[in-house]
Structure 1
């Protein structure tokens, strides 16, 4: 019997001592048998690394820890990938959890179709008691099911996402992220050679910008089962950066520059009016003529 491909569970960390033990437990409890765990740490100054080191003796899965000077979120993700030996990359963030069968089920989907390079799943939302509020409730109502407005067909519990989504009117409507946080995604490592790594100049949208880029060449498969738990809490990087991040303002510029010809006509016209210098001049002239 042929050995199953190696999957690298990549865990970027920074001061994650509060939840990292739960995260590590979910990693070592995977039913998929051929794994390694790659930890890329942005110079944590709490007990994150000592907690992770304690798992080296608790599992047969190789646990490799790399500590380095921080250079940003994207750089830490990419450093994880650089150090990974696996044929496949499975991100797991320091506060998230995987169901025991997560990687097993994802790999079965990926290995059946060469046109699929990314597989993702639905996710549970776990809210810390200190983070429960009406605002959080509204967030879950908006972002709890990221694919709800895509009208995807499901066959045997699997939906396919391809570049046709760029033509949907829902593409530039919230939620802009049609995939999910990195913890819900598993992808083939050789995809990096074709489309490049995560953009290190972005902070908030670098995960779904990467997935959108991948759709230009390949399909993504969505498992309509909650195989990952995404945790909401006060110490999340997104919450710490709230008010500082301007990535969302860049998103339609990226779409305009990279996906314009795949969009529907209404969206094309909207972006032309907003970003085309010639179109802005024409609109100005038209307004003056009809004053």
Structure 2
């Protein structure tokens, strides 16, 4: 097999019938990248075949590797882990199916920074998209000691890329805090990430996304889990963040 520089790893599912539409839009943006040596790994938890059929339709335009993942828990952490574990590239670029690469130089810049620095992980700038392609609220990722308790100053996992020597994977006990916990763990294990500040990823805001179905009980459960896992490693500021967010789950019930 020829060397693959980057694997774009996409966890996919029906998303109430919109999953294939969002994914095809993302494929168009991937096709427009000025970087060519990449594969697209789609880990599919759909009950139907629309995602697989879409991958087949695009197989002559992109190097797509579709893999079923129907037996694993139906959640993003398990599905993205499956995609990461199937990837062949030196750099593993996460991209959720409803997000897309906003900048056509994204993959070029990601690979260049990995080569220049020898880093283990990298974060790039992002913004949100509601309708159309107008970016709102551009965000440059940063890390803080309150991150793992839900103060997300990084953005979605779509801004993340890791080197394949990074064996860390998402904690499958988590749904709401799966991203910030992973950033915290990478930070502890690998040190500071490289940051590409330009807006390269568009995070789509819509009513079908998982975050729209996160209730207070789930928040409380995951905050308690994070407390058990990280209280001893947390600063006073981090502990106050936990208490503030945990109290909100009580007041709102």
TM range (shorter): 0.7 to 0.9
Query: Is the contact between residue 118 and residue 186 of structure 1 (CA under 8 Å) also seen in structure 2?
Result: yes
From 107, 112, 117, the equivalent of 2:116 is: 112
2:174 corresponding residue in structure 1 = 202
Q: Confirm whether residue 145 of structure 1 aligns to residue 120 of structure 2.
A: no
Q: Distance between the aligned counterparts of 1:272 and 1:46, measured in 2?
A: 41
Name the CA shift for 1:55/1:250 in 2 (closer, same or farther; >3 Å).
same
Q: Distance between the aligned counterparts of 2:240 and 2:140, measured in 1?
A: 23
Query: Is the contact between residue 124 and residue 140 of structure 2 (CA under 8 Å) also seen in structure 1?
Result: no
Calculate the TM-score normalised by the size of structure 2.
Answer: 0.79
Unaligned runs of 5+ in 1: 130-139, 151-160, 275-291
Q: Distance between the aligned counterparts of 1:241 and 1:32, measured in 2?
A: 36
Name the CA shift for 1:269/1:81 in 2 (closer, same or farther; >3 Å).
closer
2:83 corresponding residue in structure 1 = 80
1:51 corresponding residue in structure 2 = 54
Q: Distance between the aligned counterparts of 1:65 and 1:11, measured in 2?
A: 10
Q: Distance between the aligned counterparts of 2:30 and 2:242, measured in 1?
A: 46
Pair member with larger Rg: 1
- Report deviation, 1:68: 2.5
1:23 corresponding residue in structure 2 = 26
Q: Distance between the aligned counterparts of 2:130 and 2:204, measured in 1?
A: 6
From 23, 32, 39, the equivalent of 2:42 is: 39
Written as runs of structure 1 = structure 2, the 5 A alignment for 1:46-195 is 47-59=50-62, 62-69=63-70, 70-71=72-73, 72-98=75-101, 99-114=103-118, 116-128=119-131, 145=139, 147=141, 165-166=144-145, 171=146, 176-192=151-167
Written as runs of structure 1 = structure 2, the 5 A alignment for 1:5-24 is 6-15=5-14, 16-24=19-27
- Report deviation, 1:66: 0.6
From 194, 197, 200, the equivalent of 1:227 is: 200
**CA deviation map 1:132-179 (0-9, x unaligned):** xxxxxxxx87xx6375xx6xxxxxxxxxx6xxx43xxxx369861222
Name the CA shift for 1:174/1:66 in 2 (closer, same or farther; >3 Å).
closer
Q: Distance between the aligned counterparts of 1:145 and 1:253, measured in 2?
A: 30
Name the CA shift for 1:27/1:119 in 2 (closer, same or farther; >3 Å).
same
1:281 corresponding residue in structure 2 = none
From 211, 216, 229, the equivalent of 2:183 is: 211
Structure 1 stretches of 4+ moved >6 Å: 271-274
Q: Distance between the aligned counterparts of 1:94 and 1:268, measured in 2?
A: 31
Calculate the TM-score normalised by the size of structure 1.
Answer: 0.70
Paired residue secondary structure (1:228): strand
- Report deviation, 1:210: 1.2
Name the CA shift for 1:172/1:50 in 2 (closer, same or farther; >3 Å).
closer
Let me know the Cα RMSD of the aligned residues: 2.9
